[in-house]
Amino acid sequence: MIALIIVDMIHDFVDGKFGNKKAKKISEKMAEISDRFRKRGDLVVYLKDSHSSSDAELKVWGQHAMRGTWGSEIVEELAPKEEDIVIEKSTYDGFLFTGLRDILKNKNVEEVFIVGVATDICVMHTAFGAFARGFKVNIIEDLCAGTSEEAHNWALNYMKNIYGARILRSDEL
């Protein structure tokens, strides 16, 4: 089985505190791709930052995506469907301190496709989490947005060269 992992398409990263214009632009195409995965019977997983006041990230980025706030909610264009899985995370890697690995293993997932924000932070760290746990990693580059275009491209090359991730575009799916 295959899983599409949508990383941090939440208000604080799309249209809130750290709003990313590219993330806003790709959300419609991301919704179309999500529907395509669902129609094939693949798993769609949403990861969303959902912080408490003791999380380490807050020391670096300040208060953001606080659990239960508008900022930590998935943007409306990508509202999860009933069959989707939504996982709250407290750090960059969607596998760390969450049940994501077990969920994927229990559903016999062997390959993941990762999209979202930021390419050079949470997408990259989640790709490492997948790689380190034995999943085949794919990054859909035109459905990811970095903190800058330079950082986006650097992260794509890093994931390709260090994790063996396949980098592809949404029109190749």
pLDDT confidence band for 163 (50 / 70 / 90): very high
Q: How many domains is the chain partitioned into structurally? A: 1
What confidence score (pLDDT) does residue 62 get? 76
What confidence score (pLDDT) does residue 123 get? 98
Burial per residue of 125-153, b for 16 or more beta-carbon CB atoms within 10 angstroms, e otherwise? bbbbbbbeeebebbbbbbbbbbeeeebbe
β partners of residue 97: none
pLDDT single digits (tens) 81-105:
999 999 999 999 999 999 999 999 9
Taking 90 as the threshold, does the pLDDT of residue 18 lie above it?
no
Averaged pLDDT for residues 119-132: 98
pLDDT single digits (tens) 21-52:
888 899 999 999 999 999 999 999 999 998 78
Here the CATH number for the domain that contains residue 124 is 3.40.50.850
What confidence score (pLDDT) does residue 32 get? 96
pLDDT single digits (tens) 133-150:
999 999 999 999 999 999
> Cα separation of 10 and 70, whole Å?
9
> Which has the closest alpha carbon to 83: 49, 111, 46, 108?
46
CB count in 10 Å sphere of residue 32: 10
- At 10 the three-state DSSP class reads strand
Listing from the earlier edge strand, what are the strands of the sheet with 43-49?
A: 85-89, 43-49, 2-7, 111-117, 136-145, 166-168
Q: How far is CA 166 from CA 73, 75, 96, 138, 161, in A?
A: 29, 27, 22, 5, 9
> Cα separation of 69 and 72, whole Å?
6
pLDDT confidence band for 4 (50 / 70 / 90): very high
Domain that holds residue 158: 2-172
Place of tokens 């709250």: 88
106: left (phi over 0), alpha (psi -120 to 50) or beta: alpha
